[in-house]
Amino acid sequence: MTNLIDGRAFAREVHVETSVRVSNLLQRGIRPGLLFIRVGEDPASQVYVGMKERKAAELGIHSETRVLPSTTSEPELLALLDEANQDPRWHGILVQAPVPAGIEATRVFAHVDPRKDVDGFHPLNAGRLLLGELGGFIPCTPGGVQELLFRSGTTLSGAEVVILGRGNIVGKPLASLLIQRGTRANCTVTIVHSATRDIRAHCQRADILIAAMGSPEFVRKDMVKPGAVVIDVGVNRIPDPSTGGTRLVGDVAFAEVQPIAGKITPNPGGVGPMTIAMLMANTVKAAEQLTA
């Protein structure tokens, strides 16, 4: 079918735009810098940071990863952030989630200089997003979803959007983003969650259905309105009897939903590449603002 929203192709578009902005900064003698901080040896975190490092290098963004042992205390991590906040080499700082038990993630994210908060998790940037201010940083996955919708030609103004999931990383900020005034928003947004009565009924009326709840293949064909745009943010690892190992699936039962959807993201190859693209764009934005 030809109804796929190709996240890799749209991410390439964003990277081209970002590379132009990097070139402009380099002409001024400024090289954007992005510091990754990873605590512990979570295998998925190692993969994600590695992908981000490679893309930064491709775009001419200087990056470095500080790896701390899993025994690192919260005060030790905050001390490193104090150092990075003051270091002019770093225009962007990203603490890779998850952090080990004993470290409060919200305190860590709030400790990053909001001017360098390219993940968009600092309370100041969250507030700016809610207020519709343009100077802050939009979290990368919500920003990537919005770009996918806009660049794929999806009608946003007036659209009925249903978001499955009320998390601080995707659900809440994405709802805040899509209700704003503007050509890339202006939606009517409903968030459904574990306490919602009759989730199926909410989903069935959605023009745009966004699954971000971390529940493997939760969205089935009887939950989707024919012709709806379906965005699958989920990343879940489930047993794979055919190999005796595991495999990755999204929150959408792709094979049965694709024939019904007007447009749908593959998983992988949908939201993931756009998340990285928006991180790079945010890093360049930080460099532009800090050196203006």
Report the distance separating Cα 89 and Cα 84, nearest Å.
9
Residue 207 near residue 149 (C-beta atoms within 8 A): no
Q: DSSP state, 101?
A: T
> Rg of the chain over CA atoms, in angstroms?
19
Segment holding 175, helix H or strand E: helix 171-178
Q: How many Cβ atoms are within 10 Å of 13's Cβ, its own excluded?
A: 13
Do you know the residue count of the chain? Answer: 292
- Please give the structure tokens belonging to residue 176: 């805040």
Q: Tell me the pairing of strands 188-192 and 33-39.
A: unpaired
Residue 23 near residue 16 (C-beta atoms within 8 A): no
Report the distance separating Cα 96 and Cα 137, nearest Å.
17
Helix (H, G, I), strand (E, B) or coil at 95: strand
Report the distance separating Cα 180 and Cα 16, nearest Å.
27
Q: Distance between the two ends of the chain, CA-based, in angstroms?
A: 47
Report the distance separating Cα 174 and Cα 139, nearest Å.
8
Residues assigned a catalytic role: 52, 96, 119
